[in-house]
Amino acid sequence: MQRKRLEIEGIVQGVGFRPFVYQLACRVGVAGWVRNDSRGVTIEVEGEGAILAEFLRQLQEQLPPLASISRLSEQPLPPCGERDFHIHHSASDSAALAQIAPDSHVCADCLRELFDPADRRYRYPFINCTNCGPRYTIVTAIPYDRPFTTMADFPMCPACQGEYADPGSRRFHAQPNACPECGPQLALRDSQGQLLAAEVPLAATTDLLAAGQIVAIKGLGGYHLAVDAANDTALAELRRRKGRDEKPFALMAFDLPMVARFAEIDAIEQRLLESPERPIVLLRRRADAPLSPLVAPHNRYVGVMLPYTPLHYLLLQQFPALVMTSANLSDEPIAFEDADATGRLAQIADAFLSHNRRIQTRTDDSIGRVMAGRALLLRRSRGFVPRAVALPKEQPAVLALGAELKSTFCLTRGDRAFLSQHIGDLKNQQVYASFAEGIEHLQGLLQLQPQIVAHDLHPDYLSSRYAGELTKLPRVAVQHHHAHLVSCMAENCVTAPALGVIFDGLGYGSDGRLWGGEFLLGDARGFQRLGHLAYLPMPGGDAATREPWRMAVAALVHAYGDDLPQLPWLTALPAADLRLLRQMIAKGLNSPLTSSCGRLFDAVAALAGVRQKVSYEGQAALELEIVLEGGPEAGEYLFELQTQDDLLVVDPAPMIRALVADLQGGGAPGLLSARFHNGLARVIGQVCDRLRQQQGIAAVALSGGVFQNRYLTERTLEILGKLNFSVYTHSLVPPNDGGLALGQAVIAGAAGVQA
């Protein structure tokens, strides 16, 4: 006989881990006990050596779907003659180091019951079990137990209590366990928040949607605004009320065959759609899709998700697809509290389908797309948060505050990084409040006191100012593109120095200029700038970000000097506007210089006639990528490489002149776009090749928002692959500023170790 103590860390609480261990122990025939504790789960098992080995093997191979083990340690103990196996209650004494699970889509077993007329939870919109349901969004404190969730409001009925206490039940210790007798209930309210006397709120809601009304629907992490996706009038009204002209809306469809009616789906996209996290997946829209064109104007892609709550399944039975967009006015955070929702959305929603289970933590839907054969998250939020990212090594506890526009923050503990849910644009006051609350809440759940604060080098970012208020902690200011580089390296568990191709919108450079087309060499301890795109003026500053035509004029002046070529859109501009802009450029008035690749995309999009003004961030670059599809094009516009002050400078002047020549020869936007993308991928390869000769380093990390572009990323990977580089790209951490805090955290951690 032997006895062993097993200490397990990872996602092992709130995911059915203890009942799984109990059932396994009974099946295999070992005695002992299991309990949750502050670090995860502790098990003691007693039995014959071979049986213990079998228990250990199956423990690791047959984990419940939401569980994962990040560390397992074994320790021999003297046998004590125990005969049975028990589940002990949570030890709530010490600091909670256990990981809380993310929210999960409703599982197949629960779905079967949902649609089974004989089941006591038939059509009950809050059905869940140990393997599925809300988690992070309902947790108020640790340890993860019902009194510390928003389900504390609902005492269980005897039947639910019986399941909860029965180790043989699939609802054993399912903290959100509920049924129609004892659990949350739906309620339908009008636009003023007055309760509507609907006998079946769900049926009344589907009637409203079928009649073209806009209904705010409470979900897992917040409210959605729902409308029938085929109804032009309803969509036009939603865009008008929400103040959103062109930014695409996401869809929800009942199942895969339904999704296939709107969009093309390959095997990897299918896996991403069906994953337990249920993100919105960007898919190629079918030409014959039965959708209103107002779902995603000027866009060949459509963002689709499958239902993830039981309520969604019940709603989607009635519609081919619903638009399900975050319930907010543009730039505001998604509404998640009932009173706030009815207040803020009164002018947008015709009705509210709400319920009385509180949402503790607001989380938006995650967004992903498939690139180079794997998933890439563009927004990491519901379903993924608060799952930890494994770091290559242990480091001091850091709070990293991210950037400003696609704000997230990151907390580290040991060798784990906890990247927060998407928070949004901090310039909005409510978003900023949500940022501060989110930091407090996650610190509480992780029982963490950060030792170091990391923030962006930009002194005016609100996240940097927040750091400035934390006066008791040492602060580390991190250069924006260095953080992107290390974010990508950390996600790939790389510590050795690598080259970084960091292309994004704008980030504050070490020289005080606006960087964004950078070739770096570095690791967590530091970086060197080895090259960049040539500086171009941004006439009008921020206005140039909203009006790509300004960047196009700057690019033309850069390539041609005073004699600008004749282009239709240029001659169509009011002469006074153009004259003023050229004066600003010539005199350097309100025209900060930038090496941004995002601004170069803007210039090309405007030159190619794709877009002169944008209504949301990244729109011009996105549309430039979209127009190029439709056939292989091998032609490329060449850039020129120069050396200035020991830096390689990539000059777009010859590229711009070649593009203008094509344009004057009647080249279509799709052709111009393809040749631009091809030339950019080519010059990335050329620069990396030169830097490898110079530095002797053959590892390249690709990061920054520009690498959300599928065509550019795949083409660059192909070229760098042929040149025998090892290339690292993002996957579950976004390449845009949503992933920045991870890099900041690792850099500050390394600084803390050195200090």
Quote the least distance from Cβ 214 to Zn ion, whole Å. 31
Quote the least distance from Cβ 504 to Zn ion, whole Å. 4
* Closest to 96 (Cα-Cα) out of 140, 129, 152: 140
**Coil, strand or helix at 396:** coil
If the CB atoms of residues 87 and 182 are measured against Zn ion, the closer one turns out to be 182
Which residues, including other chains, have CB under 8 Å from residue 381's CB and lie 6 or more apart?
221, 363, 364, 365, 366, 421, 422
Quote the least distance from Cβ 108 to Zn ion, whole Å. 8
**Distance separating alpha carbons of residues 528 and 518, to the nearest angstrom:** 10
If the CB atoms of residues 63 and 556 are measured against Zn ion, the closer one turns out to be 63
If the CB atoms of residues 182 and 570 are measured against Zn ion, the closer one turns out to be 182
Region binding Zn ion by CB under 5 A among candidate stretches 212-220, 249-257, 654-662, 730-738: 730-738
Quote the least distance from Cβ 730 to Zn ion, whole Å. 12
Quote the least distance from Cβ 281 to Zn ion, whole Å. 22
Quote the least distance from Cβ 516 to Zn ion, whole Å. 7
Q: Does 129 bind Zn ion (CB under 5 A)?
A: yes
The CA–CA distances, whole Å, from 746 to 455, 491, 520 equal 12, 11, 17
CB-based contact 516:595 (threshold 8 Å): yes
> Which one of 1, 97, 182, 578 is in contact with Zn ion (CB under 5 A)?
182
Q: Does 398 bind Zn ion (CB under 5 A)?
A: no
Report H helices in 521-596.
Answer: 542-546, 548-560, 568-571, 575-587
**Coil, strand or helix at 365:** coil
Quote the least distance from Cβ 162 to Zn ion, whole Å. 9
If the CB atoms of residues 129 and 733 are measured against Zn ion, the closer one turns out to be 129
If the CB atoms of residues 65 and 343 are measured against Zn ion, the closer one turns out to be 65
**Distance separating alpha carbons of residues 464 and 409, to the nearest angstrom:** 12
If the CB atoms of residues 678 and 736 are measured against Zn ion, the closer one turns out to be 736
Quote the least distance from Cβ 621 to Zn ion, whole Å. 13
If the CB atoms of residues 174 and 345 are measured against Zn ion, the closer one turns out to be 174
Residues counted in the chain = 755
The conformation of residue 254, written as its DSSP 8-state character, comes to S
CB-based contact 498:702 (threshold 8 Å): no
Region binding Zn ion by CB under 5 A among candidate stretches 100-108, 192-200, 539-547, 596-604: 100-108
If the CB atoms of residues 160 and 348 are measured against Zn ion, the closer one turns out to be 160
Sign of the Cα torsion 334, 340, 343, 346 reads positive
Identify the residue whose tokens are 């009344």: 204
Region binding Zn ion by CB under 5 A among candidate stretches 68-76, 101-109, 279-287, 666-674: 101-109
Instruction: Report which secondary-structure segment, H or E, holds 226.
Output: strand 223-228
Region binding Zn ion by CB under 5 A among candidate stretches 9-17, 182-190, 465-473, 663-671: 182-190
732: its two tokens: 């579950």
> Which one of 157, 436, 697, 723 is in contact with Zn ion (CB under 5 A)?
157
> Which one of 6, 96, 132, 521 is in contact with Zn ion (CB under 5 A)?
132
Region binding Zn ion by CB under 5 A among candidate stretches 24-32, 159-167, 243-251, 456-464: 159-167
Region binding Zn ion by CB under 5 A among candidate stretches 171-179, 198-206, 555-563, 634-642: 171-179
Quote the least distance from Cβ 121 to Zn ion, whole Å. 9
> Which one of 30, 56, 107, 663 is in contact with Zn ion (CB under 5 A)?
107
If the CB atoms of residues 160 and 265 are measured against Zn ion, the closer one turns out to be 160
Region binding Zn ion by CB under 5 A among candidate stretches 108-116, 241-249, 387-395, 425-433: 108-116
If the CB atoms of residues 507 and 734 are measured against Zn ion, the closer one turns out to be 507
**Distance separating alpha carbons of residues 581 and 640, to the nearest angstrom:** 26
How many other C-beta atoms can be found within 10 angstroms of the C-beta atom of residue 114? 19
With contacts defined by CB under 5 A, how many residues of the chain interact with Zn ion? 13
> Which one of 160, 251, 521, 727 is in contact with Zn ion (CB under 5 A)?
160
22: its two tokens: 């109990």
> Which one of 52, 138, 139, 179 is in contact with Zn ion (CB under 5 A)?
179
Quote the least distance from Cβ 133 to Zn ion, whole Å. 6
Q: Does 717 bind Zn ion (CB under 5 A)?
A: no
| N- to C-terminal Cα separation, the chain | 50
Quote the least distance from Cβ 203 to Zn ion, whole Å. 23
Q: What angle do CA 179, 181, 187 make, to 5 degrees?
A: 85
Quote the least distance from Cβ 732 to Zn ion, whole Å. 18
Region binding Zn ion by CB under 5 A among candidate stretches 208-216, 345-353, 497-505, 607-615: 497-505
Encoded amino acid at 668, one letter? A
User: Which residues face 2 on adjacent strands?
Assistant: 47
If the CB atoms of residues 131 and 709 are measured against Zn ion, the closer one turns out to be 131
Region binding Zn ion by CB under 5 A among candidate stretches 174-182, 276-284, 368-376, 428-436: 174-182
Identify the residue whose tokens are 């006397």: 197
Quote the least distance from Cβ 148 to Zn ion, whole Å. 20
**Distance separating alpha carbons of residues 578 and 477, to the nearest angstrom:** 39
Site string for Zn ion, 506-525 (x = CB under 5 A): -x------------------
If the CB atoms of residues 462 and 674 are measured against Zn ion, the closer one turns out to be 462
* Closest to 745 (Cα-Cα) out of 502, 414, 492: 414
Identify the residue whose tokens are 């319930």: 327
Instruction: Report which secondary-structure segment, H or E, holds 5.
Output: strand 2-11
Quote the least distance from Cβ 683 to Zn ion, whole Å. 20
If the CB atoms of residues 156 and 446 are measured against Zn ion, the closer one turns out to be 156
**Distance separating alpha carbons of residues 189 and 197, to the nearest angstrom:** 9
If the CB atoms of residues 63 and 204 are measured against Zn ion, the closer one turns out to be 63
Region binding Zn ion by CB under 5 A among candidate stretches 15-23, 61-69, 110-118, 241-249: 110-118
> Which one of 99, 537, 737, 752 is in contact with Zn ion (CB under 5 A)?
737
E-only strand ranges, 450-533: 452-456, 475-478, 498-508, 514-523, 526-533
Q: Does 116 bind Zn ion (CB under 5 A)?
A: no
- CB-count exposure of residue 199 (10 Å: 0-12, 13-18, 19+): exposed
User: Which residues face 514 on adjacent strands?
Assistant: 508, 594
Identify the residue whose tokens are 């795109």: 533
Quote the least distance from Cβ 665 to Zn ion, whole Å. 36
**Distance separating alpha carbons of residues 596 and 399, to the nearest angstrom:** 28
Quote the least distance from Cβ 507 to Zn ion, whole Å. 5
Q: Does 110 bind Zn ion (CB under 5 A)?
A: yes
Q: Does 504 bind Zn ion (CB under 5 A)?
A: yes
**Distance separating alpha carbons of residues 645 and 629, to the nearest angstrom:** 39
If the CB atoms of residues 325 and 545 are measured against Zn ion, the closer one turns out to be 545
Q: Does 67 bind Zn ion (CB under 5 A)?
A: no
Q: Does 220 bind Zn ion (CB under 5 A)?
A: no
CB-based contact 216:225 (threshold 8 Å): yes
Which residues, including other chains, have CB under 8 Å from residue 674's CB and lie 6 or more apart?
628, 633, 635
* Peptide bond preceding 386 in cis form (omega within 30 of 0): yes
Quote the least distance from Cβ 478 to Zn ion, whole Å. 12
E-only strand ranges, 358-409: 367-371, 374-379, 389-395, 398-400
The CA–CA distances, whole Å, from 711 to 676, 678, 714 equal 11, 9, 5
Instruction: State the Cα torsion 467-471-474-479 to the nearest 10°.
Output: 30
Encoded amino acid at 748, one letter? A
Quote the least distance from Cβ 498 to Zn ion, whole Å. 18
Q: Does 72 bind Zn ion (CB under 5 A)?
A: no
Phi-psi region of 193 (alpha: psi -120 to 50; beta: other; left: phi over 0): left
Region binding Zn ion by CB under 5 A among candidate stretches 175-183, 365-373, 450-458, 625-633: 175-183
Point out which residues bind Zn ion (CB under 5 A). Answer: 107, 110, 129, 131-132, 157, 160, 179, 181-182, 504, 507, 737
